[in-house]
Structure 1
């Protein structure tokens, strides 16, 4: 995928006219009456800005094309309105949708010439106001003035955020191209969701009403079980109609997520491949300070906290005499845990005893228990408080569940796929109980505005009771990464070196730059040796180094060297070597492993590091960003391959092959 990404960037760099033509057409057609309602011109401007940020397009040309297209589009709509002002009401689509022109007239009469500027940023009237301006006799000179002004404001407002986004993606891509893909997917999903909601609200309201009436008519004339269910669900007099539909949709989504996750686990598909990357990435952050914070988060999902909340929910429902609701919920709790145990046994092929002792079994009963308890409490609270409190309850519940999952992933209690599967399965039971409760009691129960505070107080007391030094120390010791595997030099050179990946991978199985050196030494020894041979430590990303990204005369070696991920673990050591050309450099990154080599002279075992070099070129296709692009050709490693190599005193194996990639083994002497 990364290869295709760079191919696209190279194509746009070599053929910028294609991208600029799209910018002109998108800006033009977005301003054309009716057509502009369906043309995502603003999105096209954002994407063009993102390409500017990655260095594929020139900012000046993109701005000029966007402004020119926007001016031309509004001018065409103005001309159409002036040319057909007496007959426009008889033309399609205005004769079928007279409300469009009426809305435009009302807006124009209210704001006058300023409406041409404002309308650029308001989708419903964006392409109608210029037509109305022509119909209402606005002078050409005055329209042209506000038209140009509106385009000058509109283009930067939509392009510059894209430029910042593209530059951010370029930096993220230097760390992990997968990170770019994940962010891009979330941005795309968010954009599609907003657009989809807008389309549904603006174009499907009438269709929804008609469909609802037809279903109600059918249900009234079909008094069997399905007809009664439809009638009760869609009855406009039912106060819980919207809630029932919403819970049903969430139930379907939860089921789809669980089935998809279960299928990936059963077939070993990409989701499972993420597990090790997530574990190693979080493991790289292990430190006493982080351990203390994560331990505090883990107490939100501890047995004590969940037991207190479950008991509180039972007492609460008993006071309100909601016996069936609490019975259904208790059944859901027990049955979900039994079902999880059955799935664990089936998925692992293990006995009951061995599964219950395996904390990494799929799905996670720990996450599932937290989702069932907190999800049910959130449902109870949401039905008894106002809208603002509902939002706060949903946000707080989500944050707590994320904290519980993060603490388990950080400590290695369960894998990412197990957490996702457990959460989805538990959500199914929560939504089933919620749907049953709403179905039986559609009217909201008596308000309890202070109940969220009571629940928060209980959670706080439960968490505070567990923050003693003894429990924290025990948890932190269990959460520490395992000690490295100590091997002899002979074991390393004979067989262990072959167990390491030949290529860096952002995700398990994805081949990136070749791993061309394995080095056993302390971090200080590696640093000392490289500094003595012309390498310098890479400039870390900071507020000061970020400014170099927009400097007009910076050299490649002065730009920050970002860490990269290898199976989810960021590079610990980063070094830079200047090239003869000021716009090129070599970047050497090292990652830790789970192995250390012992020394016969009694020195402490030294860890084995995996190293990879990337040759980077600085490109300045457009102001304001400096873009570093990797040279995809395989470079010689840090070693001079001649017989007079300066590394002869350290290398212990040379030109060892790993899938066709030469690998050199280096061992620094113990001090």
Structure 2
């Protein structure tokens, strides 16, 4: 397998004109029923993304090719299920491995539309769920709407790391970049691995362990950020290389989602809805996380007046460490992710947390893209929110577990909060356009 992969990447490296087609085809196969289980698409996608980031394709082109390829794989899988229905079980691959279909079918029957969003990040389920959706006669319009959304997050999560690695290898980065990147990446990886391991083994103090490790890594950033200047400068240069006039309006809209006033209104709305529906423990957890993160961020900013990057388009205060946008966004979306994962298996809880981190990571990344924060600023903001969220969850579950919200409450909470975030961000974006004109 390794020799075949090396041969493929070597050939694509010598013939970069075929790289775009390779990304499209591999993404399609990775999301195609049966084939996506047999072919190691995740490894292949990382390898071709590294090649793309080395200068062959821009980030936007890479993500677009993977996105459209994934959509085609979804559509073909859905069509197979819709055409064969229950006879799909007689296909050669499924006849010999009925567990592939059984697991996806059970997952789809249990979680419905949400399974297509969450299952996108679970390897064995990703290529099978669209086929099961077609087999169960899910309306095509609903399937397309969910697939458009799920494929976008999947393309970013699976292609961005490889592309960034290739770009980092290509750029003339500062001398100390790689050692510093290795230390920070090792710390974050250790945090994630220990947290996942403790949760997967049902340890009673899993949340406390996550909180302690998050605070420990955060403390390391606070102590060591003056020595991380090469890492910050290198990552900022890597991101700034992708600046585009076409992309700027979208990124500005995303960054407005993390504005203090927007996040404050969203947090207040969430708490009021939990209060109105008498979800007392969920309310206490949400208030402790959101308010605690805001107060901690304000206190830390008062202690560290760090100089912002020189890419700023307008003067801002020098207080940048940790990023308020990053900490507020991660606190808000982690609260939603934790509440969504209650009373579910460990894998589902972790997947909901991953999904919750995607919009928060987009907001945090937008700050680096616009040159408003250093990368270590947004990492520190994410760690601060994660630690406060884990502490709040541990305290709220001191005696009894925090139970799930009903579907009726979620249909009230999600549209209201997301609608408020979007409308407020659009209003702030329009306000900025007007100020620019006049």
> Larger radius of gyration, structure 1 or 2?
1
Structure with a larger share of its residues in helix: 2
Q: Which has the higher contact order (CA 8 A, sep 6+)?
A: 2
TM-score normalised according to structure 2 size: 0.50
